Amino acid sequence: MMLTHLRIEDVVLIEKLEVAFQPGLCALTGETGAGKSILLDSLGLALGARAETGLIRRGAEQAAVTAVFDIEPSHQAQKILEEAGIGPESGELILRRVVTTGGKSRAFINDQPVSMNLLRTVGQTLVEIHGQFDNHGLLNPQTHRSMLDEYAGLNTDTQSAWQAWQNEKNALEEIKSLVAKAKTEEQFLKTALDDLDALEPRTGEEGTLGMLRERLMHREQVLECLNAAYQLLNAEEDPVRRAWSLLDRVSDRAGSEVQAARDALDRAVSEIQDAITVIRDTSEELQDADHDLATIDERLHALRAQARKHNALPDDLPQIREDIARKLALIADGSEGLEAQEKKVQAARKTYIEKAARASSIREKAAIRLDQLVKGELAPLKLEKARFVTQIEKLHESEWGPHGTDRVTFLVATNPGTPPGPLHKIASGGEMSRFMLALKVVSAQAGSTHSFIFDEVDTGIGGGTADAVGERLARLAREKQVLVVTHAPQIAARASHHWVVEKTGDDWVTTTITPLESRVERAEEIARMLSGSTITPEARAAAESLLRTGTE
């Protein structure tokens, strides 16, 4: 993963500018005030930094910055984008920011509008800027634990153990809530259960009673019609039976057509007999029924009253009865259920503590190694009296989380005898960048961020110290893409790629950036950095010497 292109339009002194960056160590040089900081401000915009309308070039209506990254599918930013429903196009990740004179700001990722929070979240996984943006990357104490874990190669299942513990705790609280609620309703539930048990409701009963009631309301009329139909169908002069008898006599002599007619009458006789049976049974049921309209109405009233009481339908009463019985059983067995769930909570807590303790042990060992290695990098960076300490504190249980029970903070002391304090509060701008450089050189293999920008890393240093800084930047650039804004020729000479930032024009000043592609161009720029506007032969010779050293 690396920053491949940066396009800037109408930002301060820049009208239109595009830079194609390369892997390795990339140096940006130029005179003070040429606009190097504008480049970093512009990149910060694309990464989600706060926008100021003062960044818009005079006479323009809006400023726009586009940063293009080459990103692997496994990069952390890709996971964030997948959750947001955005994917890279052909391995490219394009971040774009537009700021208008009216103060409005719009953000885009792969040409899709996104929130500023998403742009900032993705940007923080792509680039770390050290020097001017004090809250980025390692300068934010909240990132120190994850950085130490990455350096240690810590890959435990603390997070899953934490989630399992939280799930059991939530289940316990749910049981407590149900038991408490059930106890407040216990008397109501007991009465309701007694009423439903006495009623013995059945699913579908209301519909059955309704049909029976309708039949009973018209019983006399129904019985009269049933009896009349029965008499007609049972009459001695039944034309169907008589016709069947006549055809039966000649069926063997009259041909297949008559036989078919006889068979049809045969089926009719059978159907008529079935109808007679139904009519007889229905008539007997109505005459001999034990229930009457009053009994049915009373039953329907009781069912519907209970349904209103439970705000349900009569057909739901059997299930409601079962639910009430379960709640009462929960009250009766509540203490036993709570005790069993509390044991599960304690077991999950114990597992989490064991895994968190293992993570703490790994962190403590890694912290010792990290502190020793960083210490070895400080002296050549003119920080020989400084100390770097990885502090691991045990958190109160209320602060435990998915990553364990530790708080990790990087502390530094720049003077002997002074207690170490937070990195972002103790070190000056230049010292902070060098601390960050030492730390990142030691932990170059850790983390998914592959692009680093160092600004002010050469503040207050020169000679051998600047050369030491350049050597470490070059070493870091073997693993990551590193962009350094520098005034130190020793650092610029170590770069794999070199750009010069300049201001041009008299009435209308603009900032330009030019790649130095030949050794002659690079030597001339480094000579200018050594001697100023008047380049001497001695400066050119010294520049050649620095370039030879930087490429060895």
The C-alpha atoms of residue 534 and residue 531 are separated, in whole angstroms, by 7
Does residue 104 fall inside a structural domain? no
Cβ proximity of 73 and 12 under 8 Å: no
Does residue 547 fall inside a structural domain? no
Which residues, in sequence order, are bridge partners of residue 95?
67, 109
The answer for residues whose C-beta is within 8 angstroms of residue 399's C-beta and 6 or more apart is: 407
Res 135: pLDDT: 44
Phi-psi region of 515 (alpha: psi -120 to 50; beta: other; left: phi over 0): beta
pLDDT reading at 317 higher than 90: yes
The C-alpha atoms of residue 52 and residue 99 are separated, in whole angstroms, by 8
Token pair 């089926």 is found at 267
Does residue 114 fall inside a structural domain? no
pLDDT tens digits, 144-192: 898 899 889 887 789 999 999 999 999 999 888 877 877 777 888 889 9
Does residue 153 fall inside a structural domain? no
pLDDT tens digits, 500-546: 998 887 667 788 899 998 999 999 999 999 988 788 899 999 999 99
Question: pLDDT class for 216, splitting at 50, 70, 90?
Answer: confident
The CA-CA-CA angle for residues 215, 230, 263, to 5°, reads 120
Cβ proximity of 551 and 527 under 8 Å: no
Res 133: pLDDT: 47
CA 382 centroid distance within chain: 43
Compute φ and ψ for 153, nearest 5 degrees. Answer: 65, 30
**Separate counts of helices (H) and strands (E) for the chain:** 19, 15
Handedness of CA 487, 493, 495, 499 (dihedral sign): positive
CA 410 centroid distance within chain: 28
Does residue 457 fall inside a structural domain? no
| Among candidate residues 129, 165, 167, 155, the one with its CA nearest the CA of residue 37 | 129
The C-alpha atoms of residue 225 and residue 283 are separated, in whole angstroms, by 10
CA 264 centroid distance within chain: 75
Res 447: pLDDT: 61
pLDDT tens digits, 415-434: 888 899 887 777 776 777 78
Q: What's the number of domains the chain is made of?
A: 1
Average predicted confidence (pLDDT) for the chain = 86
- Kindly report whether the global pTM for this prediction surpasses the value 0.75: no
In this prediction, residues 470-478 reach a mean pLDDT of 90
Read off the DSSP letter of residue 380. G
The domain of 310 spans: 175-335
Does residue 314 fall inside a structural domain? yes
Does residue 323 fall inside a structural domain? yes
The C-alpha atoms of residue 481 and residue 357 are separated, in whole angstroms, by 36
Does residue 318 fall inside a structural domain? yes
- Look up residue 536 and give its amino acid: T
Q: Are strands 92-100 and 62-70 parallel, antiparallel or unpaired?
A: antiparallel
